Structure 1
Amino acid sequence: MSSDFDETRDPWTRLSKRVVFDSPWITVEDHTCRDPAGNDTQYGVVRFKNRAVGVIPLHDDGTITLVGQYRFALEQYSWEFPEGGCPQGRDMIDTAAMELSEETGLRAESLTHFMDYHLSNSVTDESGALYLARGLTQGEAHPEDSEELHIRRVTLDALLKEIEAGKITDSITVMGAYKLALWRAEVKLD
């Protein structure tokens, strides 16, 4: 690969686009296009109307609160950081605080931006942000009607072991846990 390539150049030629599904959460598009090799092809894209937002509730004793719920699309149970969707125009940090409170009852003295991410960049444009919550106090949780949640606290080492064992597979939780472990190793956590 040449060092003088242009990262902003789009090698795809878009010929037409058709919306095949639209809901309050996503739009599915069918594109007729020409790929970088010059071949005519179809490309399906899922466009998200919300940004994903997650929160790492890190307690003073070093434990982390996880939320468990059955995920409809996966057809399996999932343990993960508190997460939700932030509609366009809403502040991400306000949404992070709301998700933390709704799902766990926790209130954070501080919420710090921890990382940005793309969740599946080959067929979706879903992106999001993860926040680190510190100075936690317990209140009452108020999950949405569509959520049946369970809460537990784990150490970072226990969380990493569950990830390594394939028991925790949520991408936001996996990314955040490994970055948190890196910060711990680099003594960025107090």
Structure 2
Amino acid sequence: MKNPWTTKSTKTVYDNPWLGVDHSEVINPRGGEGIYGVVRFKNHAIGIVPIDDEGYTYLVGQFRYATNRYEWEIPEGGCPVGTDPLATAKRELKEETGLVATGWTLLLDFYTSNSVCDEYGIAYLAEGLSQEDAEPEETEDLKVKKLLISEAIAMTLDGRIKDAVSIMALQKVALLRTAGR
């Protein structure tokens, strides 16, 4: 479809190594003058649902600065735009949990909020797991929890998991399991 918006001007009003914020003067689809702000991410969101041969998965617990909360999530990380998402997923899984997988399946790709940002993400299913040493980054103080995949899915339903990437990926696993795949 043709873009119904007309951009008169755009300037970056904030920029750091992870994101930029653009302010645009626009003409909206009905012809009115307006403004639009967009957060532009420099990394794609990557999520991994690791499942071992016994039906267990692994969640990562950490304190999230932006929400000022401790959260349980699937292993996640940032993939610099223009680099290989699967390579990033493999690196993040090893860094955060010490797990190495031999089987990788794309679960889904998504936008986290297409009204105010352009953050794009990809989630994978990781299988054929073996355990090595975790290698967390300096900014990460992580706890790893091993639990049945059914319990992790239940955590998305009762609110114990609030992270959108985790919810989407775990619910996709639930849907695939319901469909017998």
Cα deviation for residue 113 of structure 1 reads 1.4
Cα deviation for residue 34 of structure 1 reads 1.1
Pick from 6, 23, 37: which aligns with 1:30? Answer: 23
Q: What amino acid sits opposite 2:100 in the alignment?
A: R
Q: TM-score, normalised by structure 1?
A: 0.92
Q: 1:103 aligns to what?
A: 96
Q: Distance in 2 between matches of 1:137 and 1:161?
A: 25
Q: 1:73 aligns to what?
A: 66
Q: Distance in 2 between matches of 1:163 and 1:117?
A: 18
Q: Distance in 2 between matches of 1:160 and 1:135?
A: 20
Tell me how large the CA RMSD over aligned residues is. Answer: 0.9
Q: 1:4 aligns to what?
A: none
Q: TM-score, normalised by structure 2?
A: 0.97
Cα deviation for residue 58 of structure 1 reads 0.6
Cα deviation for residue 36 of structure 1 reads 1.2
Secondary structure at 1:95's aligned position in 2? Answer: helix
CA contact (8 A) 2:47 2:169 kept: no
Q: Distance in 1 between matches of 2:131 and 2:149?
A: 20
- Would you identify which runs of 4 or more consecutive aligned residues in structure 1 move more than 4 Å? none
Q: 2:8 aligns to what?
A: 15
Q: 1:134 aligns to what?
A: 127
CA contact (8 A) 2:49 2:125 kept: yes
Q: Distance in 2 between matches of 1:155 and 1:41?
A: 50
Q: What amino acid sits opposite 2:94 in the alignment?
A: S
State yes or no: 1:90 paired with 2:99.
Answer: no
Any unmatched runs of 5+ in structure 2?
none
Any unmatched runs of 5+ in structure 1?
1-7
Secondary structure at 1:85's aligned position in 2? Answer: strand
Q: Distance in 2 between matches of 1:110 and 1:156?
A: 17
